Structure 1
Amino acid sequence: MKFQPDSIDVQSISGYGPGWISVGNEKISTSIVLGSRGERFEWNCDQFENLSEAHFAQLAALGTELIIFGSGDRIRFPNPAWIAPLVSRQIGIETMDVQAACRTYNILAGEGRHVAVALLMPSP
Protein backbone atom coordinates (compact mmCIF):
# COMPACT_ATOMS: atom_id res chain seq x y z
CA MET A 1 0.00 0.00 0.00
CA LYS A 2 1.37 3.40 -0.96
CA PHE A 3 1.05 6.19 1.59
CA GLN A 4 0.92 9.82 0.57
CA PRO A 5 1.07 12.79 2.91
CA ASP A 6 -2.01 14.94 3.23
CA SER A 7 -1.67 18.26 1.48
CA ILE A 8 -3.94 21.23 1.19
CA ASP A 9 -3.92 24.06 -1.31
CA VAL A 10 -4.12 26.88 1.24
CA GLN A 11 -1.56 28.26 3.65
CA SER A 12 -1.39 25.97 6.61
CA ILE A 13 0.40 25.68 9.91
CA SER A 14 3.14 23.09 9.61
CA GLY A 15 4.22 22.97 13.26
CA TYR A 16 3.87 24.55 16.65
CA GLY A 17 5.41 24.59 20.09
CA PRO A 18 5.48 26.78 23.19
CA GLY A 19 5.48 30.39 21.94
CA TRP A 20 5.86 29.66 18.21
CA ILE A 21 4.22 28.27 15.07
CA SER A 22 5.58 27.39 11.64
CA VAL A 23 4.04 28.29 8.32
CA GLY A 24 5.97 26.27 5.79
CA ASN A 25 9.60 26.55 6.87
CA GLU A 26 9.13 29.94 8.57
CA LYS A 27 9.08 30.00 12.37
CA ILE A 28 6.83 32.73 13.81
CA SER A 29 6.82 33.80 17.45
CA THR A 30 4.64 36.92 17.29
CA SER A 31 0.86 37.23 17.30
CA ILE A 32 -0.46 36.62 13.79
CA VAL A 33 -3.62 36.23 11.72
CA LEU A 34 -3.76 33.69 8.90
CA GLY A 35 -6.66 33.19 6.53
CA SER A 36 -7.62 30.33 4.26
CA ARG A 37 -7.69 32.68 1.27
CA GLY A 38 -4.13 33.91 1.75
CA GLU A 39 -4.71 36.63 4.32
CA ARG A 40 -1.75 37.10 6.62
CA PHE A 41 -0.78 39.94 8.92
CA GLU A 42 0.79 40.59 12.30
CA TRP A 43 -1.79 40.97 15.02
CA ASN A 44 -0.37 43.82 17.07
CA CYS A 45 -1.00 42.49 20.55
CA ASP A 46 1.32 40.50 22.79
CA GLN A 47 -0.81 40.11 25.93
CA PHE A 48 -4.40 39.00 26.42
CA GLU A 49 -4.99 41.97 28.73
CA ASN A 50 -4.13 44.37 25.87
CA LEU A 51 -6.79 43.06 23.49
CA SER A 52 -9.63 45.39 22.54
CA GLU A 53 -12.60 45.68 20.24
CA ALA A 54 -10.27 47.17 17.60
CA HIS A 55 -8.34 43.89 17.37
CA PHE A 56 -11.53 41.98 16.67
CA ALA A 57 -12.73 44.66 14.22
CA GLN A 58 -9.62 43.80 12.14
CA LEU A 59 -10.81 40.20 12.09
CA ALA A 60 -14.38 41.16 11.16
CA ALA A 61 -13.04 43.05 8.13
CA LEU A 62 -11.81 39.74 6.69
CA GLY A 63 -15.41 38.68 6.08
CA THR A 64 -14.77 35.02 6.92
CA GLU A 65 -17.45 32.65 8.12
CA LEU A 66 -15.49 31.79 11.27
CA ILE A 67 -12.64 33.17 13.35
CA ILE A 68 -10.62 30.71 15.41
CA PHE A 69 -9.08 32.61 18.31
CA GLY A 70 -5.98 31.02 19.85
CA SER A 71 -5.82 32.77 23.22
CA GLY A 72 -2.32 31.63 24.21
CA ASP A 73 -1.19 28.55 26.10
CA ARG A 74 -4.56 28.30 27.85
CA ILE A 75 -8.16 29.13 26.99
CA ARG A 76 -9.17 32.66 27.84
CA PHE A 77 -12.47 33.91 26.47
CA PRO A 78 -12.66 37.40 24.98
CA ASN A 79 -14.79 40.07 26.59
CA PRO A 80 -18.21 40.14 24.85
CA ALA A 81 -17.69 43.82 24.00
CA TRP A 82 -14.53 42.92 22.06
CA ILE A 83 -16.34 40.54 19.73
CA ALA A 84 -19.19 42.94 18.91
CA PRO A 85 -17.77 43.64 15.40
CA LEU A 86 -17.90 39.90 14.65
CA VAL A 87 -21.41 39.48 16.03
CA SER A 88 -22.71 42.43 14.00
CA ARG A 89 -21.41 40.77 10.79
CA GLN A 90 -22.67 37.31 11.82
CA ILE A 91 -19.15 35.88 11.91
CA GLY A 92 -18.67 32.99 14.30
CA ILE A 93 -15.81 32.85 16.78
CA GLU A 94 -14.37 29.84 18.57
CA THR A 95 -11.84 30.23 21.37
CA MET A 96 -9.19 27.64 22.20
CA ASP A 97 -5.53 27.41 23.12
CA VAL A 98 -3.01 28.08 20.34
CA GLN A 99 -2.21 24.43 19.63
CA ALA A 100 -5.88 23.44 19.27
CA ALA A 101 -6.50 26.55 17.16
CA CYS A 102 -3.69 25.53 14.77
CA ARG A 103 -5.11 22.02 14.33
CA THR A 104 -8.68 23.27 13.89
CA TYR A 105 -7.63 25.91 11.35
CA ASN A 106 -5.75 23.35 9.25
CA ILE A 107 -8.74 21.00 9.20
CA LEU A 108 -11.31 23.66 8.28
CA ALA A 109 -9.06 25.40 5.74
CA GLY A 110 -8.28 22.02 4.19
CA GLU A 111 -12.02 21.45 3.75
CA GLY A 112 -12.22 24.65 1.72
CA ARG A 113 -13.96 26.70 4.41
CA HIS A 114 -13.43 30.48 4.52
CA VAL A 115 -11.84 30.72 7.96
CA ALA A 116 -9.10 32.64 9.72
CA VAL A 117 -7.04 31.92 12.79
CA ALA A 118 -5.93 34.71 15.13
CA LEU A 119 -3.11 33.52 17.34
CA LEU A 120 -2.13 35.45 20.44
CA MET A 121 1.53 34.68 21.11
CA PRO A 122 2.36 36.29 24.45
CA SER A 123 5.84 37.70 24.77
CA PRO A 124 7.95 36.10 27.50
Structure 2
Amino acid sequence: MKFQLDQPQGGNTISRHDGRSVWVNGTEHRSSLLVPWQGTVQAWDLPRFEDLTEAHFERIRDLKPELVIFGSGSRIRFARPQLYRALIDARIGMETMDLGAACRTYNVLASEGRAVLAALMIEG
Protein backbone atom coordinates (compact mmCIF):
# COMPACT_ATOMS: atom_id res chain seq x y z
CA MET A 1 0.00 0.00 0.00
CA LYS A 2 1.36 3.39 -0.96
CA PHE A 3 1.22 6.19 1.59
CA GLN A 4 1.33 9.87 0.73
CA LEU A 5 1.48 12.81 3.09
CA ASP A 6 -1.57 15.02 2.66
CA GLN A 7 -0.61 18.65 2.30
CA PRO A 8 -3.32 21.29 2.52
CA GLN A 9 -3.63 23.11 -0.79
CA GLY A 10 -2.37 26.64 -0.18
CA GLY A 11 -2.66 26.11 3.55
CA ASN A 12 -0.34 26.51 6.50
CA THR A 13 1.56 23.58 8.01
CA ILE A 14 3.40 23.42 11.32
CA SER A 15 6.57 21.49 10.67
CA ARG A 16 8.28 21.66 14.06
CA HIS A 17 7.99 22.92 17.63
CA ASP A 18 10.32 22.79 20.61
CA GLY A 19 8.56 24.74 23.36
CA ARG A 20 10.38 27.99 22.59
CA SER A 21 9.71 28.13 18.85
CA VAL A 22 7.21 26.94 16.25
CA TRP A 23 8.05 26.53 12.56
CA VAL A 24 5.20 27.26 10.14
CA ASN A 25 5.81 26.72 6.43
CA GLY A 26 9.54 26.55 7.20
CA THR A 27 9.65 29.89 9.07
CA GLU A 28 10.59 29.98 12.75
CA HIS A 29 8.39 31.94 15.18
CA ARG A 30 9.66 32.66 18.72
CA SER A 31 6.61 34.40 20.16
CA SER A 32 2.91 33.60 20.38
CA LEU A 33 1.12 33.37 17.06
CA LEU A 34 -2.12 32.67 15.24
CA VAL A 35 -1.95 30.07 12.48
CA PRO A 36 -5.08 30.04 10.31
CA TRP A 37 -5.78 27.11 7.98
CA GLN A 38 -5.13 29.50 5.09
CA GLY A 39 -3.72 32.98 4.89
CA THR A 40 -1.15 34.91 6.83
CA VAL A 41 0.36 33.67 10.07
CA GLN A 42 0.02 36.50 12.58
CA ALA A 43 1.84 37.55 15.71
CA TRP A 44 -0.36 37.24 18.82
CA ASP A 45 0.62 39.58 21.63
CA LEU A 46 0.46 37.06 24.47
CA PRO A 47 3.70 36.69 26.44
CA ARG A 48 2.12 34.88 29.42
CA PHE A 49 -1.02 32.87 30.05
CA GLU A 50 -1.97 35.30 32.83
CA ASP A 51 -2.14 38.10 30.24
CA LEU A 52 -5.10 36.55 28.36
CA THR A 53 -8.01 38.94 27.83
CA GLU A 54 -11.28 38.94 25.93
CA ALA A 55 -9.56 40.96 23.18
CA HIS A 56 -7.27 38.01 22.40
CA PHE A 57 -10.27 35.84 21.59
CA GLU A 58 -12.19 38.60 19.81
CA ARG A 59 -9.29 38.85 17.39
CA ILE A 60 -9.53 35.10 16.75
CA ARG A 61 -13.31 35.35 16.22
CA ASP A 62 -12.75 37.99 13.54
CA LEU A 63 -10.68 35.46 11.51
CA LYS A 64 -13.82 33.28 11.28
CA PRO A 65 -12.50 29.77 11.92
CA GLU A 66 -14.90 26.92 12.62
CA LEU A 67 -12.60 25.55 15.33
CA VAL A 68 -9.78 26.98 17.46
CA ILE A 69 -6.99 24.85 18.87
CA PHE A 70 -5.54 26.81 21.80
CA GLY A 71 -2.00 25.75 22.64
CA SER A 72 -1.63 26.99 26.21
CA GLY A 73 2.16 26.64 26.39
CA SER A 74 4.30 23.88 27.82
CA ARG A 75 1.44 22.57 29.96
CA ILE A 76 -2.31 22.52 29.56
CA ARG A 77 -4.11 25.46 31.19
CA PHE A 78 -7.71 26.39 30.61
CA ALA A 79 -8.86 29.96 30.03
CA ARG A 80 -11.92 31.15 31.94
CA PRO A 81 -15.02 30.85 29.70
CA GLN A 82 -15.85 34.56 30.05
CA LEU A 83 -12.55 35.31 28.26
CA TYR A 84 -13.57 33.37 25.14
CA ARG A 85 -17.24 34.38 25.24
CA ALA A 86 -16.84 35.94 21.77
CA LEU A 87 -16.08 32.47 20.37
CA ILE A 88 -19.01 30.89 22.19
CA ASP A 89 -21.41 33.57 20.92
CA ALA A 90 -20.10 33.12 17.35
CA ARG A 91 -20.54 29.32 17.68
CA ILE A 92 -16.83 28.71 17.15
CA GLY A 93 -15.53 25.62 18.92
CA MET A 94 -12.37 25.72 21.04
CA GLU A 95 -10.15 22.95 22.35
CA THR A 96 -7.26 23.56 24.75
CA MET A 97 -4.05 21.52 24.65
CA ASP A 98 -0.40 21.89 25.45
CA LEU A 99 1.73 23.36 22.65
CA GLY A 100 2.89 20.04 21.17
CA ALA A 101 -0.56 18.47 21.08
CA ALA A 102 -2.02 21.67 19.61
CA CYS A 103 0.53 21.67 16.76
CA ARG A 104 -0.14 18.02 15.91
CA THR A 105 -3.93 18.38 16.09
CA TYR A 106 -3.88 21.54 13.97
CA ASN A 107 -1.93 19.75 11.21
CA VAL A 108 -4.38 16.83 11.12
CA LEU A 109 -7.43 19.10 10.93
CA ALA A 110 -5.86 21.46 8.37
CA SER A 111 -4.86 18.49 6.18
CA GLU A 112 -8.53 17.46 6.18
CA GLY A 113 -9.47 20.88 4.80
CA ARG A 114 -11.07 22.10 8.03
CA ALA A 115 -11.30 25.83 8.78
CA VAL A 116 -9.12 25.51 11.87
CA LEU A 117 -6.96 28.10 13.61
CA ALA A 118 -4.10 27.35 15.99
CA ALA A 119 -3.70 29.98 18.70
CA LEU A 120 -0.27 29.11 20.04
CA MET A 121 1.17 30.61 23.19
CA ILE A 122 4.96 30.50 23.24
CA GLU A 123 6.34 31.38 26.62
CA GLY A 124 9.54 33.41 26.65
TM-score grouping bracket, smaller chain normalisation:
over 0.9
- How many matched pairs? 123
Closer, same or farther in 2 for the Cα pair 1:6/1:90, shift >3 Å? Answer: closer
Aligned to 2:95: 94
2:95 partner amino acid: E
Cα offsets for 1:63-82 (capped at 9, x unmatched):
11100000000000001110
Aligned to 1:70: 71
Cα offsets for 1:26-62 (capped at 9, x unmatched):
1111000010121421000110000100000001111
Aligned to 1:120: 121
Instruction: Could you tell me which runs of 5 or more consecutive residues in structure 1 were left unpaired when the two chains were aligned.
Output: none
Closer, same or farther in 2 for the Cα pair 1:110/1:83, shift >3 Å? Answer: same
Q: Percent identity?
A: 43
1:45 and 2:50 are equivalent in the alignment:
no
- Does the residue aligned with 1:11 lie in a helix, a strand or coil? coil
Q: Distance in 2 between matches of 1:2 and 1:69?
A: 33
Give yes or no for contact 2:37–2:115 (8 Å, CA) kept in 1.
Answer: yes
2:18 partner amino acid: G
- Under a length normalisation based on structure 1, what TM-score does the superposition of the two structures give? 0.92
Q: Once the 2 structures are TM-superposed, how far is the Cα of residue 106 of structure 1 from its aligned partner?
A: 0.3
Aligned to 1:17: 18
1:58 and 2:59 are equivalent in the alignment:
yes
